[in-house]
Each structure stands twice: as C-alpha cells, then as structure tokens.
C-alpha cells in the first residue's frame, strides 16, 4: 500500500515536471497577449507560431534577455532582428497557407523565415550579407527547420530557378518595387515589402490577371491611401 502511494506520488511529480512550459514560451505568450493581440493581430495560426518560435535563439547572447520584448534588436553587421509585431503583421497580411512557396528578401537572423516555416510548404530566403546568411542557415539547421533554404546574394534579383512564388516578403527596403520580383510572383500572388529610402512605407502588391480589375485599379491617382497601401500590378 505504501509502495503504491509512493509510486503514484512519483508519477504525479513527473507529470507536473513534464507539463511545465519552458520559461521562454511563457515569455513569448506574455508578449503576444500584452503587445501583439491588442494591436490587432487576429490570425490564430500566426499567433500560435509566434508563441512557439524561439526568438532567443536568433539573437546574440548579450541581448537574449530582451528577446521577448516587442522591439527590434541588434544582430551584428549593422542589422537588427525585426520587432515581433512587425513580423506578425507582415505574416498575417501575406495571407499564406500550407500549399504556398514563399520567397523572403533579407534573411537577417532567420527569425521571419522560422515563423513562416510551419505555415507554408517551402521558404526560400536570400541575404546580401554573407556573415548573416551563414549564421542564419546554421541556426535554422540547428533548430531543425527542414523547409527553409538560405542563399547569400542580392535579394532584388530574386531566385529565378525556384520561381514563380505564391508569396514574396521583404524586410529590406528598395527605392521602388523591383520588376524582377513582380515577374517571379505567380498570378494571384501577394508581395509585401517596405519601399523607400529616407521615408519608408509598407506596400502590398497583388498581381492580378483579370483585365477589367487591373484597369480599374490602374486608373487610380496613386496618391490616395488605398494606392499607397496596395499597389496592384
């Protein structure tokens, strides 16, 4: 009887230990609930992935303690890891699904690619700074991401041998939308990227093939709020 009670107590202790969430997941969930959801992110798939992606693995040791603050952080080479809210927002407006192949311009730390990974079929990511490309590739491989390919190169040239893409996402801002990226976007595809040098705005490009719709959108002035937010090619 005593032995049976001891065994039950031991099993209960083991269950409690294994049911406890890692501290970083608790921090991630707190960040999402207090700083992401209240700002309008509603896609439950995006929120779930954000809560289970170890952002602390994508930043240098000296800033790990800030990994679950909703802020950009330095990652070396004069670059930063994006603010989690921006990652969530850009991922949400991409309107991705599990059948999509996505091109990412600007791998950086690899964090955005890691967030995309569980939500899509394949991610191809290009980084112009070799040290960052190599580091991101090592991190992603170490963490077991199987559907992310990282390349060192000029992202604005795209990845022609893997095109066309269902979605394209950019973190580095060109002065204007690169035509080659439009060419590598599937009809009906969506591209999200910041545009501009001194002043930047986030632009959503929807590649349409219906002639009537394209004409109606082309006739806009280009200066109204809709045109600024949605440049339709």
Return d(Cα 193, Cα 191) in angstroms, integer. 7
Phi/psi of residue 122, each to 5°? Answer: -150, 145
Query: Are the C-beta atoms of 192 and 90 separated by less than 8 Å?
Result: yes
Strand order in the sheet with 230-232: 148-152, 122-127, 101-105, 165-170, 185-195, 201-206, 230-232
Per DSSP bridges, beta strands 201-206 and 185-195 are antiparallel
Report which of 125, 55, 50 is spatially closest to residue 92, judged by C-alpha positions: 50
The verdict on whether 221 is a catalytic residue reads: no
Q: What is the DSSP string of 6-41?
A: HHHHHHHHHHHHHHSPPHHHHHHHHHIIIIIGGGT-
Catalytic residue, from 82, 109, 117, 125: name it.
82
Query: Are the C-beta atoms of 117 and 90 separated by less than 8 Å?
Result: no
Return d(Cα 64, Cα 109) in angstroms, integer. 13
Report which of 113, 105, 108 is spatially closest to residue 170, judged by C-alpha positions: 105
Helix/strand number for the chain, H first, E second:
9, 9
Phi/psi of residue 20, each to 5°? Answer: -75, 135
As annotated, the active-site residues are 82
């Amino acid at each position: 009887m005593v032995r049976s009670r001891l065994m039950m107590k031991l099993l209960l202790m083991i269950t409690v230990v294994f049911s406890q969430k890692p501290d970083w997941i608790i921090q991630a969930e707190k960040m999402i609930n207090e700083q992401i959801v209240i700002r309008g992110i509603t896609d439950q798939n995006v929120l779930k992935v954000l809560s289970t992606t170890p952002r602390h693995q994508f930043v240098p040791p000296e800033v790990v303690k800030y990994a679950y603050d909703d802020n950009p952080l330095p990652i070396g080479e004069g670059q930063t890891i994006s603010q989690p809210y921006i990652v969530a927002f850009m991922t949400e407006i991409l309107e991705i699904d599990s059948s999509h192949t996505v091109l990412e311009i600007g791998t950086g730390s690899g964090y955005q690619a890691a967030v995309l990974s569980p939500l899509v079929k394949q991610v191809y990511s290009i980084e112009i700074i070799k040290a960052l490309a190599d580091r991101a590739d090592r991190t992603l491989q170490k963490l077991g991401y199987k559907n992310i390919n990282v390349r060192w190169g000029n992202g604005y040239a795209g990845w022609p041998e893997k095109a066309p893409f269902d979605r394209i996402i950019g973190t580095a801002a060109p002065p204007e939308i690169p035509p080659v990226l439009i060419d590598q976007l599937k009809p009906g595809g969506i591209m999200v990227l910041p545009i501009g040098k001194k002043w930047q705005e986030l632009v959503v490009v929807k590649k349409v093939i219906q002639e009537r719709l394209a004409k109606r959108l082309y006739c806009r002035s280009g200066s109204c709020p809709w045109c600024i937010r949605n440049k339709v090619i």
